Amino acid sequence: MNLTAKAIAEILGGIVEGNEQEIITHPGKIEVAQAGAITFLSNSKYESYIYQTKASAVLVSDDFMPTKKVAATLIKVKDVYSAITIFLKFYEQSFHPEQGISSLSFIHRTAQVGDQTTVGDFTSISSEVIIGKQCRIYPQVFIGVGTTIGNNVTIYPGVKIYHACQIGDNCILQANAVIGSDGFGFAPQTDGSYQKIPQVGKVILEDNVEIGANTVIDRATMGATIIRRGTKLDNLIQIAHNVTVGENTVIAAQAGIAGSTRIGNQCQIGGQAGFVGHIEVADGVKVQAQSGVAASIKEEGRKVYGYPALPYQDYLRAYALFRQLPDLEKRIRALEKNEKQKII
């Protein structure tokens, strides 16, 4: 990217103070940015950095008044956070693949690809697939038979979407995510072996869902595994068959949800948290990292921690006692020793 400070100001609806022709090539953090970078200052607590930064331009509030000389060009905007968000989205666009369908991709003759959708090299789109408008499908993606994908969906390299899945509008699937792999279903046999149970359901991602890199969402045995609209899943998460995750829920990396569990709306789940199968978690529940949820949580907004997960304050009290156990053991052994000496 090569834009002048003036061009960026026009994009953001801002005003330039300084060199309008300063060339900006990338964003950077104010404390470490070098020439060519644009950064931002939104909190007066960090104002000292603006007098030291080597960045070429700084986004600041339109009422910012420096107390010292600032070497960088200033771009004054009404709302710094909104402006930097707009700029970062604009910057991100420069890394998207060129529009069009690569001659090195395979698209089955019965598949439908919407207008202004980009398909990258070595991507394979199977029969009866329907893809909406303005999607970006990166190289080496596989899309299975009968899958439907909405509008403005971004699918990064290496994603695998098995057959008959449904992806809503404005979804983002990060690299190597797997959507629709078989659920973990096996029937024990009398000889001690296991017979695979066919997994004939599907996965549904509603609108505005983001799936992190290397996350796996298994298809339902029957019916659907569902990720409701607005939900965001981090990297390396396992969602088992027939799970439902509610709207606008966020789940951090390495969490695992066992089969047929239902997670409510607007829940917040920390990294490495685990959920047993066939339970329900109410709306607004917050689960601390590395917690193990072994039973349904029916109270909305409940905060839980630990394994098995307890109400947050109960866990902290229990942990305070747990930390004292080594000292208590020493005291008990000392008392026992004294009692034995008295008997002797």
pLDDT tens digits, residue range 20-52?
999 999 999 999 999 999 999 999 899 999 999
Using CA atoms, how far apart are residues 2 and 320, in angstroms rounded to an integer? 56
pLDDT per position as a tens digit, 78-137: 999 999 999 998 898 878 777 899 999 999 999 999 999 999 999 999 999 999 999 999
Average pLDDT over residues 273-297: 97
Average pLDDT over residues 162-182: 98
Contact of 118 with 99, CB cutoff 8 Å: yes
Peptide bond into 308 cis (omega under 30): yes
Who has greater pLDDT, 269 or 341? 269
Residue 83 makes CB contacts below 8 A (sequence gap 6+) with 12, 13, 14, 40, 59, 75, 77
What pLDDT does 334 receive? 85
Using CA atoms, how far apart are residues 336 and 129, in angstroms rounded to an integer? 75
Angle at 139 between CA 136 and CA 140, to 5 degrees: 125
What pLDDT does 175 receive? 98
pLDDT, averaged across the chain: 94
Average pLDDT over residues 160-183: 98
Give the pLDDT band (50/70/90) at residue 17: very high
96 has catalytic annotation? no
What pLDDT does 128 receive? 98
What pLDDT does 23 receive? 96
Tokens of 334: 């000392």
Average pLDDT over residues 272-285: 98
Does 321 score more than 90 pLDDT? no
Does 342 score more than 90 pLDDT? no
Architecture of domain 3-93 in this structure = 3-Layer(aba) Sandwich (3.40)
What pLDDT does 325 receive? 86
Who has greater pLDDT, 306 or 321? 306
Does 67 score more than 90 pLDDT? yes
* Residue tagged active-site, from 26, 96, 163, 241: 241
Does 298 score more than 70 pLDDT? yes
Residue 128 makes CB contacts below 8 A (sequence gap 6+) with 108, 110, 111, 145, 146
Give the pLDDT band (50/70/90) at residue 317: confident
Tokens of 161: 């979407």
**pTM of the predicted protein model:** 0.82
Q: Under CATH, what is the fold of the domain 159-308?
A: UDP N-Acetylglucosamine Acyltransferase; domain 1 (2.160.10)
pLDDT per position as a tens digit, 122-140: 999 999 999 999 999 999 9
Using CA atoms, how far apart are residues 109 and 125, in angstroms rounded to an integer? 10
Domain boundaries, the chain: 3-93, 159-308, 318-344
Angle, helix 80-93 to helix 5-12, in steps of 10 degrees = 110
pLDDT per position as a tens digit, 180-224: 999 999 999 999 999 999 999 999 999 999 999 999 999 999 999
Contact of 61 with 80, CB cutoff 8 Å: yes
What pLDDT does 274 receive? 97
Give the pLDDT band (50/70/90) at residue 344: low
Does 343 score more than 80 pLDDT? no
pLDDT per position as a tens digit, 229-251: 999 999 999 999 999 999 999 99
Using CA atoms, how far apart are residues 104 and 124, in angstroms rounded to an integer? 10
Average pLDDT over residues 291-296: 96
Amino acid of residue 256? G
